[in-house]
A and B are shown apart, each in its own frame.
Chain A
Amino acid sequence: MLVVAGVVFLLLHLSPGDPAAILAGDNASSDDIDRIRATLGFDRPLLVQFGGWLLQLAQGDLGVSIFNKVPVTELIAQRLQPTLSLAACTMAFAICLAIPLGVLAAWKAGTWVDHAIMTFAVAAFSFPVFLIGYGLVHQFARVWKILPVQGFSPIEQGIGPFLSHLALPALTLGLVYTALLARMTRGTMLEVLSSDYIRTARSKGLAEGPILIRHALSNAAVPIVTTIGLGIALLIGGVVVTESVFAIPGLGRLTIEAVTQRDYPVIQGVILCASGVYVLINLAIDIAYVLLDPRIRY
């Protein structure tokens, strides 16, 4: 985390752009910009600034946004629920759709069912997220008027509005993820289905359902779980675009706005939190391996 902190700090402060110039506004003079830079402490040597920030971090303080003077922890807390809700809905949608599709494609390998599923997967993976988003908004919100165009409704205000606001963003983001997961499931299942023990199970007269679910899928689970974990990185990247298209006030938008405004404390805070989440996800995946495959021991 310390390495991440150092790299992030240096990258931000060495890249072009100046928050003082943005803060001062478009019609500000050079004096205004210099005054603001001095007020923010950006005229101090880089090492002094880095040291001050590390000291703050050690005390669990991520700092305060340069622009609106709100603590970074508070900003992240405000944005956590929309992003986690979107990520959870997307994951649920993708897993529920992708794994059955992948299993079905593997079971019916080489038939039109397999081709149809793989065509869908290639298309879903190839379309840009924003294009899918605008298309869905046009059809569901403007033509059929059955779902809202934008925004987020917290779960405290009712499960109905909460789900209706998340439906289109989760579908938009989930399609890409579904495509990735379905292809991985199909590939892994094909390998498992060609194994000797599956042939033995079939020759003993076992029904296809138990063969696919109990024998094949459970043995294909480890690579699928790995893909789910790795896919979270893809998901976080996609969240940035999806949150912008659907005006969801989540962490993705917070990051984009902070980057365009050069709000250093917010960018540093969000990236540090994201790297912490990655570490936790990897830990969860490692634990899941043990539960899914008793042969694995650490």
Chain B
Amino acid sequence: MSKTLTWRRLLLAGAMACAALLPAARPAEAQQKTLRAVVHADLKILDSVWTTAYITQRHSYLVYDTLFSMDETYTPRPQMVGEYKISDDKLTYTFTLRPGLTFHDGEKVRSADVIASLTRWSTRDPAGQKLNEFLSRLEAVDDTTFRIVLKEPYSLVLETLGKAGIPAFIQPERIARTPATEQITDPTGSGPFIMKKDEWRPGNRVVYVRNPAYIPRNEPPNFLSGGKVAKLDRVEWRYIPDNNTTLSALMAGEIDYFEAPPLDFIRLLKDNSDITVLNIDKLGVQGLIRMNSLHPPFNEFKARQALMNLIDQEQMMLAVAGDPSLFLKFCGAFFMCGSENETAIGSEPMRKHDMAQAKALFAEAGYKGEKIVVLYPTDRPQYAAATTVMVAAMRKAGLNVDMPAADWSTINARRARKDAPDKGGWNIFITTQGGSDAASPIGNVWFNSTCERANPGWACDPELMGLVDKWLRAPDPASRKARLEEIQARAYVSLPYIPFGQFFQPIAFRKNVTGVLAAGVPVYWNIDKK
């Protein structure tokens, strides 16, 4: 009897000890609305001026605010700006900040903060650099009013301030005065969420909490503009490198939001009644074939045109995206189908993809069977798939293709080298860019054909850049449209790159998550969780 009692006591004591070790329920935490989101990459750099990495852009939209933001028609709408005036001669833009704007450290947002932020951003951003070419001065009128004074009229001032890719995020002056060559590590902004840097675990988790002092605009949210109402108390970014694990975690309800599910998971996710699949970006992603303009055969326009004749966009996209609902069958626009700059001018040869014409053009370009080095990334499945299809077409056309395989990091380093292809350089690589970046001749960095100053591949066409310059100076939308068509017609001659298709990257989230905005990029305001 006493032995039984002793065992029972022991069991009871053990159970009590275990219960004591379990975490006590914390009522305040239980009521918090926390979104657990798995994002496409690990956040490493907090400074969007310092890097073009998309994960840093996502972070910036959480913690910073912008002067203007685009609506769904790509019209810039005031965001931090309350009122603004444009002088009759279109040389002076005067802006007044909305009342009540404060940074996360409690300091008021002042004109000096705006000027410092614009100055730093415009030294690196291509659209900002263009604005600087027209800029006479940037000055504070008082604490809440500032002025942009131009040397000559420039019709894209508001578009530049509110650009959708990486706009000018406003930071406190003390931070924005950091030289653009130095990385900012202080995430103080005035946006709807505050980064909890003490909870940041690189490679694992980033935590943001609602900014209680943020005053959203009264308008409803529209694309990136309108009221940024933070309905979540906390956003937890998790970085899970394994997509299968993320898929299982979403299905099991351990996470709420999967920012970039692989495209071959989409069908499976759509079939799950607990999960919503949503395309938040009508522009999607542009695939591009980049040729090295420094070395034969692609230093000749004709060789580039020949390669274009080999490209069958639908075949490329089937390899990249699989599901036909996730890509456009054909898009001949350099500046994205669906954007205000869409035009099909000049794209007819690519639509035809004529093998005989390709062979003839390669011969005219002086190609005599030299080795063409195509970089093959082993750890980027979409790029690898597109590369495989392209190389098959090249070999079918009788080209001598060498396809060295390497991880993306190695390719990234190799593509920056200007050496000859047989001495560690290259001829072709494949990459992609976000639609909001590609949609304009100045935001589209791979379109930039300024020779030595251009991105790797060093596209070189002064005539094309002259047309871009004319487009920038166009006084009204109609003449801008006409000049854009001239730009694209010329681009299909010199081919800074070959756009090989446009596809869409939907996001997936659990049904209890509502209010996800189709804002082109994943943003976290307006999202609610039941």
A158 touches B181 (CB 8 A): no
For window 62-99 of A, CB contacts with B under 8 Å fall at 65, 67-70, 75, 78-79
Alpha-carbon gap, A142 to B253, bound state (A): 10
CB-based A-B contact count at 8 angstroms: 149
Q: Which residue of A lies closest to B413 (CB)?
A: A18
A260 touches B379 (CB 8 A): yes
**Residue of B23, B52, B246, B406 touching A25 (CB-CB under 8 A):** B52
Question: What per-residue 1/0 map shows which CB atoms of B51-94 lie under 8 Å from chain A?
Answer: 11110100000000000000000000000000000000000000
| B100 within 8 A of partner (CB) | no
Alpha-carbon gap, A24 to B52, bound state (A): 6
Please judge, given known A-B contacts A25-B51, A247-B238, A247-B242, whether A17 and B413 are in contact too, CB under 8 Å: yes
Q: Which residue of B lies closest to A33 (CB)?
A: B416
Please judge, given known A-B contacts A158-B23, A257-B203, whether A247 and B240 are in contact too, CB under 8 Å: yes
Alpha-carbon gap, A247 to B412, bound state (A): 26
B414 touches A30 (CB 8 A): no
For window 142-175 of A, CB contacts with B under 8 Å fall at 142, 145, 148-151, 157-161
Please judge, given known A-B contacts A16-B406, A150-B248, A260-B407, whether A253 and B205 are in contact too, CB under 8 Å: no
Alpha-carbon gap, A244 to B239, bound state (A): 11
| A141 within 8 A of partner (CB) | yes
A257 touches B42 (CB 8 A): yes
Question: What per-residue 1/0 map shows which CB atoms of A238-271 lie under 8 Å from chain B?
Answer: 0000001111010001101100111000000000
Please judge, given known A-B contacts A21-B409, A24-B52, whether A29 and B251 are in contact too, CB under 8 Å: no
**Residue of A75, A137, A244, A253 touching B248 (CB-CB under 8 A):** A137
Output the least CB separation between B77 and chain A (Å).
Answer: 26
Alpha-carbon gap, A256 to B203, bound state (A): 10
B52 touches A26 (CB 8 A): yes
- Inter-chain contacts of A16 with B (CB < 8 A): 406, 410, 413-414
Please judge, given known A-B contacts A16-B406, A18-B413, whether A29 and B379 are in contact too, CB under 8 Å: no
| A59 within 8 A of partner (CB) | no
| A108 within 8 A of partner (CB) | no
| A35 within 8 A of partner (CB) | yes
Please judge, given known A-B contacts A39-B181, A69-B183, A247-B242, whether A29 and B412 are in contact too, CB under 8 Å: no
- Inter-chain contacts of A69 with B (CB < 8 A): 183, 185
| A27 within 8 A of partner (CB) | yes
| A8 within 8 A of partner (CB) | no
- Inter-chain contacts of A30 with B (CB < 8 A): 416, 418, 455-456, 458
| B322 within 8 A of partner (CB) | no
- Inter-chain contacts of B21 with A (CB < 8 A): 158-160
Most buried by B among A23, A31, A261: A23
- Inter-chain contacts of A197 with B (CB < 8 A): none
Q: Which residue of B lies closest to A263 (CB)?
A: B44
- Inter-chain contacts of B418 with A (CB < 8 A): 30
- Chain B interface extent, by class: 35 or more
B412 touches A22 (CB 8 A): yes
Q: Which residue of A lies closest to B204 (CB)?
A: A249
B202 touches A68 (CB 8 A): yes
Question: What per-residue 1/0 map shows which CB atoms of B282-297 lie under 8 Å from chain A?
Answer: 0000000000000000
| A28 within 8 A of partner (CB) | yes
Please judge, given known A-B contacts A160-B18, A257-B42, whether A18 and B409 are in contact too, CB under 8 Å: yes
Question: What per-residue 1/0 map shows which CB atoms of B382-423 lie under 8 Å from chain A?
Answer: 000000000000000000000000110110111110100000
For window 106-156 of A, CB contacts with B under 8 Å fall at 134, 137-138, 141-142, 145, 148-151
Output the least CB separation between B422 and chain A (Å).
Answer: 16
Alpha-carbon gap, A244 to B54, bound state (A): 22
| B478 within 8 A of partner (CB) | no
Q: Which residue of B lies closest to A28 (CB)?
A: B52
- Inter-chain contacts of A145 with B (CB < 8 A): 252
A150 touches B51 (CB 8 A): no
Please judge, given known A-B contacts A149-B252, A244-B241, A249-B204, whether A27 and B182 are in contact too, CB under 8 Å: no
| B249 within 8 A of partner (CB) | yes
| B188 within 8 A of partner (CB) | no
**Residue of B23, B44, B202, B446 touching A27 (CB-CB under 8 A):** B446
**Residue of B42, B203, B254 touching A149 (CB-CB under 8 A):** B254
- Inter-chain contacts of B248 with A (CB < 8 A): 137-138, 141-142, 149-150
A254 touches B409 (CB 8 A): no
Q: Which residue of A lies closest to B36 (CB)?
A: A151
Alpha-carbon gap, A47 to B254, bound state (A): 49
Alpha-carbon gap, A77 to B179, bound state (A): 31
Q: Which residue of A lies closest to B182 (CB)?
A: A39
Most buried by A among B45, B241, B242: B242
B245 touches A246 (CB 8 A): yes
Please judge, given known A-B contacts A24-B51, A69-B183, A70-B202, whether A160 and B245 are in contact too, CB under 8 Å: no
B252 touches A141 (CB 8 A): yes
Output the least CB separation between B219 and chain A (Å).
Answer: 31
Alpha-carbon gap, A160 to B56, bound state (A): 36
- Inter-chain contacts of B183 with A (CB < 8 A): 69
A150 touches B240 (CB 8 A): yes
B181 touches A247 (CB 8 A): no
- Inter-chain contacts of A24 with B (CB < 8 A): 51-52
A29 touches B410 (CB 8 A): no
A150 touches B254 (CB 8 A): yes
Please judge, given known A-B contacts A27-B446, A30-B416, whether A245 and B245 are in contact too, CB under 8 Å: yes
Q: Which residue of A lies closest to B185 (CB)?
A: A69
Alpha-carbon gap, A141 to B352, bound state (A): 50
A260 touches B245 (CB 8 A): no
Output the least CB separation between B245 and chain A (Å).
Answer: 5
Q: Which residue of B lies closest to A16 (CB)?
A: B410
For window 7-44 of B, CB contacts with A under 8 Å fall at 18, 21-23, 42-44
Output the least CB separation between A53 and chain B (Å).
Answer: 20
For window 455-497 of B, CB contacts with A under 8 Å fall at 455-456, 458
The 7 A-B residue pairs with the shortest CB-CB distance, nearest first, are A25-B52, A18-B413, A249-B204, A67-B44, A21-B412, A159-B21, A158-B23
Between-chain CB contacts (< 8 Å), 21 pairs: A21-B412, A26-B52, A26-B432, A27-B445, A28-B455, A29-B453, A39-B181, A65-B202, A134-B244, A148-B254, A149-B249, A149-B252, A150-B245, A157-B23, A158-B23, A245-B242, A249-B201, A253-B203, A253-B241, A257-B203, A261-B44
A25-B56, A150-B254 known; 5 new pairs, CB 8 Å cut-off, are: A30-B416, A30-B456, A159-B21, A160-B18, A247-B241
Chain A residues in the interface with B (C-beta under 8 A): 16-18, 21-33, 35-36, 39, 65, 67-70, 75, 78-79, 134, 137-138, 141-142, 145, 148-151, 157-161, 244-247, 249, 253-254, 256-257, 260-262
Chain B residues in the interface with A (C-beta under 8 A): 18, 21-23, 42-45, 50-54, 56, 124, 181-183, 185, 201-205, 238, 240-242, 244-246, 248-249, 251-252, 254, 379, 406-407, 409-410, 412-416, 418, 431-433, 437, 445-446, 453-456, 458
